[in-house]
Amino acid sequence: MRTVIVSDVHSNREGLFAVLAHAEAAGPVDAVWCAGDIVGYGPDPSAVIGELRRRGALCVAGNHDRAACGLMGTEEFNAAAASAVRINAAMLSDQERAWLARLPLVAEHGDFTLVHGSLRDPVWEYLLRPGQASAHFGLQRTRYSVVGHSHLPFWVEERDSPGIRRAEDGDALELGERRLIVNPGSAGQPRDGDPRVSYILYDDGARTLTWHRVEYDIASTQARMRAAGLDRWLAERLAFGR
């Protein structure tokens, strides 16, 4: 079984579809998991929600998802992000908002736990440092977990002093006894200087997780963002991966 693991799609239809096409070019995709921030920032929240629902994706909620469906305010967001949340919310149907509102903050599935930020603070914590990884491991009930939120592809192995390892295109991990935290990076708004969208392919037969970077039609997403009235910088940053 081949599972596409994404996070932080942020209403970037072109990004998500490029990831799925890349994975499907190498074989069937049997499942999709998303570690939150399905909407916000980008121009196509309904198309992204529609594709995830069509595929029966396992999803948890991120901060942008919670704000777009009205479960929380945008006081903690910067001005551009808050404006994008409002624009996204206005594009959604009542049914799509209700779907977002039903998403859990944490999902356990087999050997994996999905959460947007961290198990200590599912919505807001950026898991970036070893001490945060230790606290997260302390709450992790499955062998492996998937986080998002930072938009940075990485993995952490549980040890006395866990180190956070940045994942490059093509990096692969064999799943074994050791406990792991992985971040697939962003399938909608990369922030590590590489504008290509990012995902993990989980092959449960081979017991591997492989990170991939994929080019997509950035100009098309940017044009749709401008047409939707989204902040100019939000569109420009896609070209730089920042």
Which residues of this chain interact with Zn ion, rule CB under 5 A?
A: 8, 37
Q: How many helices (H) and strands (E) does the chain have?
A: 8, 12
**Closer residue to Zn ion in complex, CB, 187/218:** 187
**Closer residue to Zn ion in complex, CB, 37/51:** 37
Coil/strand/helix, residue 113: strand
For residue 242, the one-letter residue type is R
Residue carrying structure tokens 């909407």: 39
**Closer residue to Zn ion in complex, CB, 10/213:** 10
Kindly state the smallest distance separating residue 48's Cβ from Zn ion, in Å. 13
According to DSSP, residue 107 is labeled E
159: which 2 tokens? 């040890």
Task: Give which of 37, 30, 39 is closest to 57, Cα–Cα.
Answer: 30
Kindly state the smallest distance separating residue 121's Cβ from Zn ion, in Å. 15
Which residues does residue 6 pair with via DSSP β-bridges, in sequence order?
34
Kindly state the smallest distance separating residue 22's Cβ from Zn ion, in Å. 21
Kindly state the smallest distance separating residue 124's Cβ from Zn ion, in Å. 11
**Closer residue to Zn ion in complex, CB, 8/192:** 8
Name the residue number minimizing CB distance to Zn ion: 37
Strands 208-214 and 172-174: antiparallel
Kindly state the smallest distance separating residue 62's Cβ from Zn ion, in Å. 6
- Cβ atoms 4, 28 nearer than 8 A: no
**Closer residue to Zn ion in complex, CB, 41/211:** 41
